[in-house]
């Protein structure tokens, strides 16, 4: 069995905007203004959030590794990760040409850029992928999420699609969201909005529903 998913509404929005021709710097600032990103957007761009979600999915398939065993492709060069946040934001425009080239290359091949988690029992990875225009992942827009399951029994995929941001959080002691054992679990929309507002981050999260493709 294999699970593949686009599980970050933040990165989904960013790549949709970049794919439509918007400069990377403008797309990221728009995501920040809408409250889609963490206070430091590099937490989203690092791929760590998607990696944590992928690890949860991996557990369902029997993956025995830990977070450090997940292969992660970050979306910004390492030099920018080490910058102080104000300097990183000031230099965002330096990444525009790099991202424009990646988007143009995908477009020339009739493909679309998506950040995907790929999960099997033996391997978990998260990376940027140029998916074919006919793939349902290409049809995602903005903060839409989607997870595809491929089973041995049927050899086909069933896909669950969620609209807007759907987040898996790791509860801690006293947060009112779990047992405090460090186990990640789905967090409700209301709880996520409340926690983001408590941290001074605006909302931007809507209810989710499922669709079979």
Q: Please, what are the domains in the chain? A: 2-174+181-198 (3.30.360.10)
Beta strands in 76-171 (DSSP E): 111-119, 124-132, 145-150, 157-162, 168-169
Q: What pLDDT, on a 0 to 100 scale, did the predictor assign at position 116?
A: 97
Token representation of residue 152 = 């041995």
Q: What pTM does this model have?
A: 0.75
Measure CA 145 to chain center: 8
For residue 78, the tally of other CB atoms under 10 A from its CB is: 7
Question: Which whole number is the average pLDDT over 102-117?
Answer: 97
User: In the chain, what is the straight-line distance between the N-terminal and C-terminal CA atoms, in Å?
Assistant: 18
Question: Which whole number is the average pLDDT over 59-78?
Answer: 95
Percentage with pLDDT > 90 across the chain: 68
3-state DSSP assignment of residue 83:
coil
Can you list the alpha helix ranges (DSSP code H) found in 62-120? 78-81, 85-90, 96-108
User: Mean pLDDT score of the chain, rounded to an integer?
Assistant: 80
Token representation of residue 54 = 């992928």
pLDDT above 70: residue 211: no
Q: Which residues pair with 177 in a beta bridge?
A: none
Which residue among the candidates 34, 53, 121, 123 is catalytic per the annotation? 53
Least confident segment among 30-34, 116-120, 132-136, 196-200: 196-200
pLDDT above 50: residue 203: no
Token representation of residue 68 = 């450090």
Q: What pLDDT, on a 0 to 100 scale, did the predictor assign at position 113?
A: 98
pLDDT above 60: residue 105: yes
pLDDT above 90: residue 67: yes
Residue 53 falls in the annotated catalytic set:
yes
């Amino acid at each position: 069995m294999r699970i593949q998913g686009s599980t970050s509404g933040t990165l989904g929005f960013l790549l949709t905007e970049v794919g439509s021709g918007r400069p990377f710097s403008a797309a990221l600032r728009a995501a920040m203004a809408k409250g889609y990103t963490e206070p430091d957007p590099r937490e989203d761009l690092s791929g760590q959030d998607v990696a944590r979600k992928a690890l949860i999915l991996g557990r369902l398939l029997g993956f025995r590794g830990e977070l450090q065993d997940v292969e992660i492709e970050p979306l910004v060069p390492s030099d920018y990760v080490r910058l102080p946040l104000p300097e990183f934001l000031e230099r965002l425009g330096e990444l525009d040409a790099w991202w424009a080239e990646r988007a143009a290359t995908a477009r020339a091949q009739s493909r679309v850029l998506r950040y995907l988690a790929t999960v099997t029992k033996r391997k978990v990875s998260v990376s940027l992928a140029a998916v074919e225009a006919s793939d349902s992942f290409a049809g995602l827009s903005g903060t839409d999420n989607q997870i595809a399951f491929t089973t041995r029994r049927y050899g086909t995929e069933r896909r669950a699609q969620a609209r807007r941001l759907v987040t898996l959080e790791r509860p801690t002691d006293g947060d009112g969201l779990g047992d405090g054992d460090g186990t990640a679990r789905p967090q409700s929309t209301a709880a996520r909005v409340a926690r983001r507002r408590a941290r001074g981050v605006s909302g931007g999260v809507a209810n989710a529903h499922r669709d079979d493709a």
